[in-house]
Amino acid sequence: MPVQALFKPFHLGALELPTRVVMAPMTRSFSPGGVPNSKVIEYYRRRAAAGVGLIITEGTTVGHVASNGYPNVPQFFGEAPLAGWKKVVDAVHAEGGKIVPQLWHVGSVRRIGTEPDASVPGYGPTEKLKDGQVVVHGMTKQDIQDVIAAFAQAAKDAQSIGMDGVEIHGAHGYLIDQFFWEGSNQRSDEYGGSLANRSRFAIELIQAVRAAVGEGFPIIFRFSQWKQQDYTARLVQTPEALDEFLKPLADAGVDIFHCSTRRFWEPEFDGSELNLAGWTRKLTGKPTITVGSVGLDGEFLQFMVNTDKVAQPASLEKLLERLNNDEFDLVAVGRALLVDPDWALKVREGREQDILPFSREALMTLV
């Protein structure tokens, strides 16, 4: 199967990508004090230089007291972090690539003791107490407005430093997803109850981001059925329910849906070979990004624990077939790109035998 489909340009309004290869967002924790440094700049530059059309940065925290959940994660607010990101943007653009930040709030995943203010608990849809102490602060309506404002401001800042769009992280059991998911959203107000109500926070947030950046600035929305807390979770069970879930998000201002799955080749619903990105494109008419173990023979969860397992490069034949069938528009590559900055170039030149295997060790350094 010829690989040309991966290297055709993609156009959406003012967004022009040289290839269909997208760098998936991957938390790296190499930004002390929340500031991306020269190593981070070089990390992204190298991928753009080797033919990645669109880089989606690692998750970057918005300007809210409880947005962060991990050490050394980059911020997307404040003078020094934004100046660092501006250097990343310039480096990527100089290589002909495009870049968007992934805007992130971890919600109730945050633990007391986490930087920058160790006293701040997680924030979530519903309060949680442990031994009489608040470990998750149940968000008030004012808190909801504060977080929405933080995302809108981050998007505006992204636009002002020359980013090519933004991705809103609505997946994997973080804050926006915690509102979607019945298991974590037990609210009795207009932000809880039905899935339509549980989607209200995301819809208002997307609308605020759109208002902040105006028309024509791409908004990507990442969502997933699975959660960090439950890999078998299903937000919706049928194509009809998926349609009901996605349409209000599309109407609110989403331009591209990034459909997070663990294995891109798995059908989303019985009776069809389409994966989540395939169904999302079919239902919304919007461009979609597929993701999930692209280019590797082992999916990422087995590397979440200490292990000496190695994921070897895998055939792209199934992927290219689906891309040629217009099931989705863009292909996000995660660990294969994390370990090998030249992955796209090697694929394009037919040098699959030179692609590096992935092991947990790759997470310890930025290359």
- Residues annotated as catalytic are 174
CB half-sphere exposure, 221, CA atoms < 13 A: 26
Query: Could you give the CA distance from residue 126 to residue 268 in angstroms, rounded to a whole number?
Result: 29
Nearest Cα to Cα of residue 256 among 21, 24, 12, 59: 12
Nearest Cα to Cα of residue 3 among 277, 263, 333: 333
Nearest Cα to Cα of residue 107 among 77, 137, 81: 137
Contact 81, 63 (CB under 8 A): no
Query: Could you give the CA distance from residue 50 to residue 57 in angstroms, rounded to a whole number?
Result: 16
Name the token pair of 244. 């009901």
Contact 343, 332 (CB under 8 A): no
Contact 291, 223 (CB under 8 A): no
Q: To 5 degrees, how large is the angle CA 347–CA 171–CA 6?
A: 20
